[in-house]
Amino acid sequence: MNVERVEVLPDLWRLGMKSSSEYVDHVNAYLLKTVEGWTLIDTGFPATSEDLVRALNDVTENHGVSEVILTHVHYDHTGGVKQVVQAFGSTVSLHSNEMKLIELTRRALNGHSTYLRAVGIEGEIYDTVRSFFARSLQLFPDSPRTFEDGEVIEGRTGRWKVVHTPGHTPGHICLYNEFNRVLISGDHLLPRETSNVPFYPIPGYAPFRSYLKSLLKVESLKPTLVLPAHGEHFSDVRSRVDYVFKHHEFRLREALESMNGWVDAVGIARGLTWSRGKFDELGPVDHWLAILEALSHAEFLVEVGLAERHRAGKIMYRALSQDVSRIEEELRKLRRSDPS
């Protein structure tokens, strides 16, 4: 069976799934016993969905899953939704803002958006992104229940609160158990990787600033155990948040330096350091993710007055100042700000 089952706390199981056929090779889902039955947080890959259903039957002793909660709608978290619903008749819940991402994906796929072309997505990358969108739409749940920040799930070992943490996606959520000080963090906070912070053209949504404020929000909860969607559990949240802020400070510096004259998002992405290699050596999906992250950093630089944006068919950026000390100053202000 391709599902590793570990009871991390009484009535809380980690279900680890691996797949060599997927872009991401492993993901953790979590199974929580509530006063109303069993709740599954995320569903892993399409390739592991049948194994997941078997594991759920085993752990719940064939009592099934009454609800699926999605931390967000990326395919490695939604891959087993339809199989779980078919097997158990589960309801599916997600944050209301994820519906905006689903609608944006649908519009881009149906040709009602010029967004892909405007940010420089062309050729093989364009075809791959459209294929990726089509696959994602097939995995998205039908008619999910939506919730907001602060909703409470009554677990057998305490209450779990929904914590809205936008940034990785507009409606990303974590779940926090205040009594045990345990955070199920999804992709928001990871032990070794830094989450992709992509730009999406959603009115009023500033992904980079939202992501950093969301980090401060979960830090203020003071969890002593973090259960991530990728990697092993960890406890030192403050050190991890410090690291992520430093990582993005460096990335903002690189982005600003790359704006020496008008440049598009692809040009900015070429100027950034990527963990999987140089931009031009990345595969199509990594190209897409890199471009989205470059855009979110560029938009933040525009927001704080260090760069300007111009759009005449294609979106272009230009630095107004190379005063990199302003970047450190802006992040320091954010680090001290109220995370609410």
pLDDT at 1 exceeding the cut of 60: no
How far apart CA 177 and CA 154 sit, in angstroms, is 10
* The residue to which tokens 């995995």 are assigned: 139
| Mean pLDDT for the stretch of residues 11-35 | 89
Q: What pLDDT band is residue 118 in, cutting at 50, 70 and 90? A: confident
First to last CA, the chain: 42
DSSP string of 153-206? EEETTEEEEEEE-TTSSTT-EEEEETTTTEEEEETTS-SSS---------TT--
Query: Which has the minimum average pLDDT: 76-85, 136-145, 214-223, 296-305?
Result: 136-145
Give the pLDDT confidence of 202-242 residue by residue, as tens digits. Answer: 989 999 999 999 999 999 999 999 999 999 999 999 999 99
pLDDT at 125 exceeding the cut of 90: no
The pLDDT mean for the chain works out to: 92
What is the reported pLDDT for 69?
97
Give the up-direction half-sphere exposure of residue 289: CA atoms within 13 A in the CB hemisphere.
18
What is the reported pLDDT for 237?
97
pLDDT at 127 exceeding the cut of 90: no
How far apart CA 234 and CA 333 sit, in angstroms, is 27
pLDDT at 113 exceeding the cut of 70: no
Query: Which has the minimum average pLDDT: 5-19, 81-95, 104-118, 158-172?
Result: 104-118
| Mean pLDDT for the stretch of residues 91-101 | 95
Query: Which has the minimum average pLDDT: 34-48, 80-94, 108-122, 227-241?
Result: 108-122
Bigger pLDDT: 268 vs 124:
268
Q: What residue segments make up the domains of the chain, in order of their start?
A: 3-239, 245-336
Token code pair at residue 263: 């440049």
* CATH, domain range 245-336: 1.10.10.10
How far apart CA 243 and CA 248 sit, in angstroms, is 9
Token code pair at residue 75: 């395919």
What is the share, in percent, of the chain residues with pLDDT greater than 70? 98
| CATH 3.60.15.10 is right for the domain spanning 3-239 | yes
Bigger pLDDT: 296 vs 25:
296
